[in-house]
Amino acid sequence: MDREKRDFGFGADFSENLAAGFRMAVFLPPSPPVKASWPQLLSLIGLQLLIVFVCNFLEIGAAGQLNVFSVPGVTFGVVLALAAACALSFAARHSDQTLVLLVAFAALSVPLELVSQLIAYALSHRIITHRGLGGWIFQWLPHYWLALAAGVAAARMLPLPAPRRVGLVVLAVAVWGLPSSVVYRDRHLWSKAYVPQEAAAFQRQHMSLAHEDVFYLQPQLLERELAAVAPGRKNTIDLYFVAAAGWAGQDVFMKEVNSVAKLFEERFDARGRVVRLINNPKSVSQSPIASVTGLQRALARVAQAMDSDDDILFLFLTSHGSKDHRFSLEFYPMTFNELTPPRLRQLLDESGIKRRVLVVSACYSGGFIDALKDES
């Protein structure tokens, strides 16, 4: 009876394989040695799928639903493990050890699946960030950790000289780590149930710009905003305020533009000489979107209305910025032309506006200084 249990993955062999998997995950030799059989392989794969399901369930809750469309994404790792086991055993000229390697890789995948789920949880709850080098490291870490650990385990399990063992590790990274890290896979076996109200809210938040009414309304909104610009007054130095909120995914940029515009109207007598370009789903039916084309037309209209010798343009741009000094214009699913320091300088020079006050509120905005500064 005990032997039968072991054969079907429920007894001592299964526990020993799990123990070996945890040791291999921290680059220690598999001890006790891996017990290879097809029932063991299926049991270990089943445990990995169970971990994915339980983590999804804890994240979503009982109101979710089974997502059979994610099965290929979840089992993609099994295909890579099989490819790696075949490649490594054949490269080592020990094809009789393919099943042993495959069971070892399945056991190794269990603890690293737990690591992967913890990292996914931390990323989704912003405990760690997607941005920067740290975000990339955490997203790639499980894939290459698994591949390296598999290569090291195979090098220990197969009798080979040292140079060829290094080759096995490199081969494991190429066959398993690289495809795993670059192929997108939906790994949610349990996902949120479809709720019409939530779907409608998602459409308003993320697809508002793609709505037919908004699509045709946008040119009218820009024309209305520009038509309202009043001409400069004689014997008065007027201040014209043009602002662009570039990033649609956060309200802070829209709020900055609105609050600063109100400040200029009340404190600097700019009422009637304010142009606001805003990327945000909450304002998409009231304000023209922020784009390079919209900014170009706004500057041209202001230049037409103002006294170029006396009046002043105050240009306020707020959004995210990149290391290569690109001002971010984002409003899914629209694709915007890039706004770089040279391009902004070109727009300003083409408008003919001489007296300029420029504020760029974004990361790495210092990269705009050299391109935009002049005598006035």
Model confidence over 165-183: pLDDT tens digits? 999 999 999 999 999 988 8
Same-domain pairing of 335 and 356? yes
Q: Please state whether beta strands 239-245 and 312-318 pair in parallel, antiparallel, or not at all (unpaired).
A: parallel
Sequence-ordered list of residues with C-beta below 8 angstroms from that of 312, at least 6 positions apart, any chain: 237, 238, 239, 240, 355, 356, 357
Task: Quote the pLDDT of residue 159.
Answer: 86
**Is residue 196 in a domain?**
no
Would you say 280 and 245 are in contact if contact means Cβ atoms under 8 Å apart?
Answer: yes
Same-domain pairing of 183 and 133? yes
**Is residue 21 in a domain?**
yes
What are the distances in angstroms from CA 39 to CA 4, 6, 45, 276, 287? 11, 9, 10, 66, 63
**Is residue 197 in a domain?**
no
**Is residue 57 in a domain?**
yes
**Is residue 198 in a domain?**
no
At 102, is the pLDDT very low, low, confident or very high (cuts 50, 70, 90)? Answer: very high
At 375, is the pLDDT very low, low, confident or very high (cuts 50, 70, 90)? Answer: confident
**Does the bond joining 32 to the residue before it have cis omega, within 30 degrees of 0?**
yes
Out of 191, 215, 242, a domain closes at: 191
* Apex 128 CA angle, 52 and 324, nearest 5: 120
Same-domain pairing of 34 and 111? yes
Task: Quote the pLDDT of residue 1.
Answer: 42
**Is residue 276 in a domain?**
yes
Same-domain pairing of 170 and 237? no
Burial class (CB in 10 A: 0-12, 13-18, 19+), 153: buried
Residue 324 CB neighbours (<10 A): 9
**Residue 165 CA neighbour count, 13 Å, CB half:** 12
Rounded average pLDDT over 131-141 = 72
Same-domain pairing of 283 and 319? yes
The total number of structural domains in the chain stands at 2
Out of 141, 163, 191, a domain closes at: 191
Sequence-ordered list of residues with C-beta below 8 angstroms from that of 301, at least 6 positions apart, any chain: 226, 229, 275
Q: Which residues share a beta bridge with 25?
A: none
pTM (whole model) above 0.85: no
Same-domain pairing of 31 and 58? yes
Same-domain pairing of 248 and 147? no
Same-domain pairing of 81 and 185? yes
Distance between terminal CA atoms of the chain?
92
The answer to whether residue 5 scores a pLDDT higher than 80 is no
- pLDDT tens for each residue of 262-319: 999 999 999 999 999 999 999 999 999 999 999 999 999 999 999 988 999 999 999 9
Would you say 110 and 81 are in contact if contact means Cβ atoms under 8 Å apart?
Answer: no
- pLDDT tens for each residue of 77-101: 999 999 999 999 999 999 999 999 9
Same-domain pairing of 324 and 300? yes
Would you say 35 and 17 are in contact if contact means Cβ atoms under 8 Å apart?
Answer: yes
Dist CA 224 CA 244 (whole Å): 16
Dist CA 89 CA 92 (whole Å): 5
**Is residue 314 in a domain?**
yes
Domain extent at residue 306? 203-372
Dist CA 317 CA 297 (whole Å): 15
Same-domain pairing of 22 and 157? yes
Out of 160, 191, 222, a domain closes at: 191
**Is residue 239 in a domain?**
yes
Same-domain pairing of 68 and 99? yes
Q: What is the CATH number of the domain that holds 221?
A: 3.40.50.1460
Same-domain pairing of 242 and 107? no
Would you say 97 and 89 are in contact if contact means Cβ atoms under 8 Å apart?
Answer: yes
Dist CA 330 CA 97 (whole Å): 52
One-letter amino acid for residue 160 of the chain: L
